Amino acid sequence: MAKRDYYEVLGVAKDATEAEIKRAYRQLAKKYHPDLNPDNKEEAETKFKEISEAYEVLSNPEKRANYDRFGHAGVDPQNGGSYSYDFGGFGDIFDDIFDFFGGGFTSSRRRQGPVRGADLRYDLTLEFREAVFGTEKEIQIRRTENCTTCHGTGAKPGTGKTTCPTCNGLGEVRYAQRTPFGQFVRTSTCNTCGGTGEVIREKCNTCDGVGKVIKTRKIKVKIPAGVDTGSIIPVKGEGEAGDRGGPNGDLYVYINVLEDNIFKRSGNNIYVNIPISFTEAALGAEIEVPTLEGVEKFHIPEGTQTGTKFKLKNKGVPNLKSHGRGDLYFTVDVQVPTKLTEKQKQLLREFAEEMGDSYKESKKGFFRKMRDAFN
């Protein structure tokens, strides 16, 4: 059976450009791929093989010139031609087709470019006030760095690199796989050069050709005021070294804050309990309130009950992301004396007597409420 004209198979003119031929093949390959035509697979395989054969010839300038001059005989292997079903030359087209089936066939033929280094994590514990006011800490980390002897090339100083003999500098190797409708080519990263396309003539004695060494470094980290447990501080460029000229990764410092003996924190507000005497609560008094900056005097009114809460504005934790501060809340705890002298007891009895029916009525009222609650 005579073969059809290759230009006719692809539906292009004889003066079609390379881009026009490629575009025509892309459309037809998708249309007639056997896996996309399960109801008419046999016919699709025939057409797919035909258009693949046509594109193999017309996409190759040398084969196309032979075909234009001698016809099918110019590319027929039996007549000394160079025709084959090697599809390795149009990987970008098969990327589109085989992505539909989960990939597996690529032919980028690009050397691997720069790769950014990995990020690092460091867990840092702070004292309560260090987190509140901010500080500077010196931490110690272990990380990979570019070798200073070879400057990250892996080659012995005075020597260089040469083209990889396995992949001829492409950075990848190709494996042919024959199928019923042609020979497909699978590509993978070259194991000899790791995808760089180059191999080292003589390895660096310091890093043994790796280009990297492990170092322990001390790094100063500025802790902003207002951090709390769970805060993360990024330190740009202090992570692992990149590959093939890629930038370093970053260091992320995770904060954990210890509890304070006096203050409790919730967000940007802080809380503290302050004991006061029975006399101070009854008569009112000026008391000393501990704050983050020191002691501040505050007047509590007479008749203050235990559990009463007061606020000192802007005496809390600085806002990490904006201006201003939280507030300080303190709760008074009236301390009832437990060890009284006989004289003190007598004075309290006289005080109770002085309160008269008002005192007794208050007490009776409480027990009445309690009895009603149980009833």
The verdict on 136 and 13 lying in the same domain is no
Asked, for residue 180, whether it belongs to a domain, the answer is no
The verdict on 273 and 319 lying in the same domain is yes
Asked, for residue 95, whether it belongs to a domain, the answer is no
Q: Identify which of 64-78, 94-108, 191-205 has the greatest average pLDDT.
A: 191-205
With beta carbons less than 8 A apart as the criterion, state whether 150 and 274 touch. Answer: no
Question: What is the rounded average pLDDT of the residues 318-324?
Answer: 88
The verdict on 26 and 54 lying in the same domain is yes
The verdict on 250 and 284 lying in the same domain is no
Q: The pTM is what?
A: 0.60
The verdict on 17 and 39 lying in the same domain is yes
Backbone conformation region of residue 286, classed left if phi is above 0, alpha if psi is from -120 to 50, else beta: beta
Say how far residue 207 (Cα) sits from the centre of its chain: 29
Asked, for residue 55, whether it belongs to a domain, the answer is yes
The verdict on 249 and 273 lying in the same domain is no
The verdict on 122 and 241 lying in the same domain is yes
Q: In total, how many domains does the chain have?
A: 3
Give the SS3 label for residue 287. Answer: strand
| Burial of 195 (C-beta count, 10 Å sphere; 0-12/13-18/19+) | buried
The verdict on 148 and 36 lying in the same domain is no
Domain end among 48, 72, 88? 88
Give Dmax over CA atoms of the chain in angstroms: 131
Question: What is the rounded average pLDDT of the residues 340-369?
Answer: 73
Lowest-confidence segment of 23-27, 148-152, 234-238, 349-353 by average pLDDT: 349-353
Of residues 267 and 96, the one with the higher pLDDT is 267
What is the pLDDT at residue 94?
47
pLDDT at 97 over 80: no
The verdict on 15 and 77 lying in the same domain is yes
The verdict on 274 and 249 lying in the same domain is no
Instruction: Report the alpha-carbon distance of residue 59 to residue 23 in Å, rounded.
Output: 11
Asked, for residue 106, whether it belongs to a domain, the answer is no
- Label residue 309 by pLDDT band (50, 70, 90): very high
Asked, for residue 357, whether it belongs to a domain, the answer is no
CATH number of the domain that residue 56 is part of: 1.10.287.110
What is the pLDDT at residue 91?
44
pLDDT at 116 over 80: yes
Asked, for residue 124, whether it belongs to a domain, the answer is yes
The verdict on 234 and 152 lying in the same domain is yes
pLDDT tens-digit map of 3-55: 788 989 999 998 889 888 988 998 888 888 877 887 887 888 888 888 888 89
Asked, for residue 358, whether it belongs to a domain, the answer is no
Cα dihedral 99, 105, 110, 116 in deg (nearest 10): 60
The verdict on 151 and 225 lying in the same domain is yes
pLDDT at 239 over 60: yes
Q: Could you list the residue range(s) of the whole structural domain that residue 21 is in?
A: 6-88
**Mean pLDDT over the full length of the chain:** 83
Asked, for residue 241, whether it belongs to a domain, the answer is yes
Q: 210 Cβ partners below 8 Å, 6+ apart?
A: 147, 154
Of residues 80 and 354, the one with the higher pLDDT is 354
Give the SS3 label for residue 292. Answer: coil
pLDDT at 272 over 90: yes
pLDDT at 103 over 80: no
**Exposure on the CB side of residue 39, measured as CA atoms within 13 A:** 0
What is the pLDDT at residue 292?
93
Q: Kind of pairing, strands 120-126 and 251-257?
A: parallel
Angle at 104 between CA 167 and CA 89, to 5 degrees: 50
* Number of other CB atoms surrounding residue 228 within 10 Å: 17
Beta-bridge partner residues of 187? 174
CATH number of the domain that residue 294 is part of: 2.60.260.20
Closest CA relative to residue 179, chosen from 57, 86, 59: 86
Domain end among 215, 235, 258? 258
pLDDT at 319 over 80: yes
